[in-house]
Amino acid sequence: MTRSSGGRGEPRQELATLVRSLGDYLQDQAKVGLEWVSWERADAMGPRQETLAEVRADLGECKRCRLHTTRRHIVYGEGSPSARVVIVGEGPGEDEDVQGRPFVGAAGRLLDAIIAAAGWGRQELYICNVIKCRPPRNRDPQEDETDACGAFVKRQIRAIRPRAILAVGNVAARFLLAADTPISGLRGRVHDFEGIPVVPTYHPAYLLRNPVQKRRVWQDIEMLLQVVGGSSGG
Ligand code: URA
């Protein structure tokens, strides 16, 4: 292979110039007080994880999909930033849209009862949804809406790094597990999201219509308790 000289210096000279300017740059930085860490330490520290507040700031007054035109409030999520368990639902309903908080309507009251039966307090968990704005008349989220919003719930989970995720309902379970299987085929087993165990279960709104399924949800909660080893809080 031939190399054209094309007015540029020899590779060795280029490298020497680069090393010199890097050295000058580092000396200048040291003069203004910048401290350096070894490559080994920087490697061990790993990339800094963004916080829930940073993810919220990036979401902003979101207009990434059509749902912003009909929402009253963005429902970002709430709870402990060091929760051992993150509960992920589908998206806000009417009560959540009015209050700007997740799971505060009838389904939320049943979820609170499930949380209490597991021996937890709501404040020690983190509760959020796949989509952050209410779809009109509580219809299912459309694919482009989940595509526009879904990255945020993943970033929320990464910011918390919980011991386990409880995915309630079809939308949350399928989204986090990138699966087409209905919730009835996903529940009853522990799955995985980026190394975090995921326990899928029925949505509390479905339980309100089908109370006979409460027994199965309780089986799933017992599995979740085993995964996290008792209490959920940090
Ligand atoms: N249903 C959900 O999936 N999420 C809520 O926040 C409320 C109802």
Name the residue among 159, 207, 200, 204 with its Cα closest to residue 181: 200
107 CB within 6 A, ligand 1: yes
**2 in a domain, yes or no?**
no
Share of the chain above pLDDT 70, in %: 78
Read off the pTM: 0.81
Find the mean pLDDT for residues 118-128: 98
pLDDT band for 12, please (50, 70, 90 cuts).
Answer: low
Separation between Cα atoms, residue 225 and residue 234, nearest integer Å: 14
- Judge whether 158 lies within some domain: yes
Probe ligand 1: pick from 67, 94, 103, 122, max atoms within 8 Å of CB? 103
Is the pLDDT at 110 greater than 60, yes or no? yes
Which pLDDT score is estimated for 48?
83
Q: Which two tokens stand for residue 138?
A: 């509580």
pLDDT at 23: 63
Residue 153: per-residue pLDDT: 98
Domain count, the chain: 1
**Contacting residues for 85 by C-beta, under 8 A, at least 6 apart:** 120, 125, 126, 162, 163, 164, 165, 166, 224, 228, 232
- Categorize the per-residue pLDDT at 126 as very low, low, confident or very high, splitting at 50, 70 and 90: very high
pLDDT in tens, 50-78: 999 999 999 999 999 999 999 999 999 99
Q: Is 102 in the pocket of ligand 1 (CB under 6 A)?
A: yes
Is residue 129 within 6 Å of ligand 1 at its C-beta? yes
Establish if 197 belongs to a structural domain. Answer: yes
Strands 191-193 and 196-201: antiparallel
Residue 178, domain CATH: 3.40.470.10
Residue 198 sits at the vertex; the CA angle it makes with 171 and 56, to the nearest 5 degrees, is 65
The pLDDT score that the predictor gives to residue 84 is 98
Distance 210 CA to ligand 1 centre (A): 17
Alpha-carbon torsion (106, 183, 220, 151), positive or negative: negative
CA of 234 to the centre of ligand 1 (A): 24
Q: Kindly tell me the burial class for residue 1, based on how many C-beta atoms sit within 10 Å of its own C-beta (0-12, 13-18, 19 or more).
A: exposed
Round to whole Å and give the CA distance between 173 and 201: 8
Structural domain of 180 = 52-228
